[in-house]
Structure 1
Amino acid sequence: MSRLLRRTLIGVAIGVLVYVVALLVFDAREVADSLAGFAWSAVAMALGLSSLNYLLRFWKWELALGWLDIRGGSGGLHEPTQLSLPRSLEIYLAGLSMSVTPGKVGEVLRSVLLRASNGVPFTRTAPVVVADRLSDLIALVVLALIGIADFSEYLPHVLGALVLVLAGVILLGSPRLFGGLLRLCARLPVVGGLAERALGMVDSAAVLLRLRYLGVLSAISVVGWGLECVGYWLILNAFPGVSAGLLLCTFLWSATTLIGALSFLPGGLGATEGSLGVLATRFAMGVGEGVAVASTLLIRSCTLWYGELVGAVALASFMRDPDLRAAASEAEAAEGTAPAPKIPSSSHAANTHTHEESP
């Protein structure tokens, strides 16, 4: 687990640095003064909404495992996986500990843990992270468009993000395109080994990015991220003298989270906080620099850092079992060194696991 944990610690260190710099650049006393009269019950409600969002995201994880026939089938090993719901929840929550890796790609930790606990091949479930990320981006674009009526100058940027996301869906969801790209990259000296191992992901990615499945995942994401928008609305309006409508807060939170996601910075650190502070000061009534910084730190604590805490607890729970801890270390080492089975042709990628692609 050392590599993934190191990446997480780097993300946490960057987060601390970002927040220290923010408090140095902006008057820390002004930020503290802005909290006078703040209704702290809003934080409790925001944490509750984030918890509901995590349950919805777990539902997405469960749906994806079902579509890949992980629990009901062989998991690719011709043996029942016998994955229990409590173990699945523990594995899912443990992945939240990797939220501060670039683009949250560290959440493939779930695939490592699933292989360690149930023997499911890493490449079989790693595309779940891809589908999760793409459905989240689609949801953020939808939410940004809902609240963009009064901010039409930002419409081209949101639509540009949508084009990028759809291009990713088309590329990663097509066995011919995705498999061809990986086979091409496999010939390159630096990324060749990684691309060759990733060939085993082609089939699962094609299943999860089918339109009907991606539509369901995106709809759940709209609700989940919408809850976080409500959490931001509650926190921002908990400051005395602030007046910000729900549609405005929906636009602010979804658009700036989208900026952070597309920046590919660990957890969107710096990009999300900076853009949210600037836009809140510009558009929300009664929001000065102190309130902008304080509200940003609070909502990020209730979302990103709360998830980190929950994930760390779940990961610690999983690693209490010495056998699982050893198996997880072996699985991580194997995924960093062992080549995946080669896919001889794009037609093979398109035709394998056809039982998984049926409705």
Structure 2
Amino acid sequence: MGLQKYWRIVFVAVLLALAMIYREEAERIVNIVVSSPPWLFFACLFLVVAEFLLQALRMKLVFSKNWAEILRAYAVGLMVALSFPSRTLGEGARIAVMAKELKVKKEEMAAYVSVERVADVVVLATAASLVLLEVHPFLLAAAVLGICTFLAVIESDTVYRKVSRGPVPELLRKYIEESRKIVKDRALFAAILGISVVLWGIDFLRMWVVVHTMGGTIDYTAVASLVSLAYIVSALSFLPGGLGVYEGGLAGGLVLKGVPHDVAVAATLYERLFSYWLWILVGAAAGAFKRENGSSSTA
């Protein structure tokens, strides 16, 4: 975990350095955060817990495990994913950790996570469509084409037969097989997609409430588009959880939409307390609690 801790320390150090350089602006940002009403903290906490429960519900629809196992596995998985210095590495590590926590095969967990991510991307690409169209229509078309291609390959019996007969690694064959089970179950996939729409709607709502409470004026659809685009673009970040790219992209987008600069930065950093730093602590606590219980039971 040394590397992951190192990157987070660097990120915090850069923030502190910028705060020292731009002291007056940093003080305004801190004042905005500190002067925010106490109810905002509890409202954000309530919304992020609701979002987490919906994320866990998606997993429970696929894996027949009890709620305690699902919640712990998802919390630890989130912490791991947010700790690795790239989203790709983070997702791979998350799959391995959650598979171990739930005692399921890695290819089964990989299949679930890929379908989960497809549902997320469908929602995010739709929400980001207005911004993507403003930048370049090709970006939206590419996102939609990628999703449709994945679903077509997974759905197609012809493609599956060719893949299963060809010189394909056993792990990849099993991954495709498990993905097909989820996607071809229309009711299950529709439920996963529906839950994804609701949980991302809650995520967008949390950011919208924070911006408005801190003095910014922006409509909900604009926030949804900006949060979605920031999340997609943050995949380019080499820092854990898209650090830096996500914050910069979201705050910059808010400014372009007319939100005052200091409010945009304050709202973004405040919201990240709930969407990033909270889950580092919760995941670490869940992992430590399991280890403590394990050592107690063996003693």
The TM tier, using the shorter chain, reads: 0.7 to 0.9
> Cα 1:245–1:136, aligned 2, differ >3 Å: closer, same or farther?
same
Residue 67 of structure 2 is matched in structure 1 by 85
| Contact 2:234/2:243, CA 8 A, preserved across alignment | yes
Residue 225 of structure 1 is matched in structure 2 by 200
Query: What is the root-mean-square deviation in Å for CA atoms of aligned residues?
Result: 3.2
Of the three residues 120, 134, 144, the one matched with 1:153 is: 134
> Cα 1:54–1:183, aligned 2, differ >3 Å: closer, same or farther?
farther
What TM-score, normalized to structure 2?
0.81
Partner Cα distance (1:298, 1:182) in 2: 48
Residue 120 of structure 2 is matched in structure 1 by 136
| Structure 1 residue 46 corresponds to structure 2 residue 44 | yes
Question: SS where residue 268 of structure 2 aligns?
Answer: helix
Residue 268 of structure 1 is matched in structure 2 by 242
| Structure 1 residue 32 corresponds to structure 2 residue 31 | no
For 1:202-231, what per-residue CA distance to the aligned partner results, in whole angstroms no more than 9, with x for missing partners? Answer: 221111223723332122111111111111
Residue 208 of structure 1 is matched in structure 2 by 182
More divergent stretch after superposition (167-176 vs 42-51): 167-176
Residue 273 of structure 2 is matched in structure 1 by 301
| Contact 2:132/2:140, CA 8 A, preserved across alignment | no
| Contact 1:99/1:107, CA 8 A, preserved across alignment | yes
Amino acid at match of 2:30: L
Q: Percent identity?
A: 22
| Contact 1:47/1:303, CA 8 A, preserved across alignment | no
| Structure 1 residue 17 corresponds to structure 2 residue 10 | yes
> Cα 1:16–1:219, aligned 2, differ >3 Å: closer, same or farther?
farther
Residue 212 of structure 2 is matched in structure 1 by 237
Structure number with the higher helix fraction is 2
Partner Cα distance (2:116, 2:203) in 1: 17
> Cα 1:325–1:124, aligned 2, differ >3 Å: closer, same or farther?
farther
Partner Cα distance (1:169, 1:15) in 2: 36
> Cα 1:122–1:175, aligned 2, differ >3 Å: closer, same or farther?
farther
- Name the count of aligned residue pairs: 285
- Displacement of 1:168 in angstroms is 3.2
> Cα 1:162–1:151, aligned 2, differ >3 Å: closer, same or farther?
closer
Partner Cα distance (2:9, 2:155) in 1: 37
Question: SS where residue 35 of structure 1 aligns?
Answer: helix
> Cα 1:144–1:113, aligned 2, differ >3 Å: closer, same or farther?
same
Partner Cα distance (1:325, 1:139) in 2: 43
- Displacement of 1:46 in angstroms is 1.6
> Cα 1:211–1:252, aligned 2, differ >3 Å: closer, same or farther?
farther
Question: SS where residue 54 of structure 2 aligns?
Answer: helix
- Displacement of 1:264 in angstroms is 7.8
Residue 74 of structure 1 is matched in structure 2 by none
Residue 68 of structure 1 is matched in structure 2 by none
Partner Cα distance (1:96, 1:250) in 2: 22
Of the three residues 46, 59, 62, the one matched with 1:61 is: 59
- Displacement of 1:42 in angstroms is 2.1
> Cα 1:236–1:180, aligned 2, differ >3 Å: closer, same or farther?
farther
Q: Structure 1: 5+ residue runs without aligned partners? A: 1-5, 66-70, 72-82, 187-194, 327-359
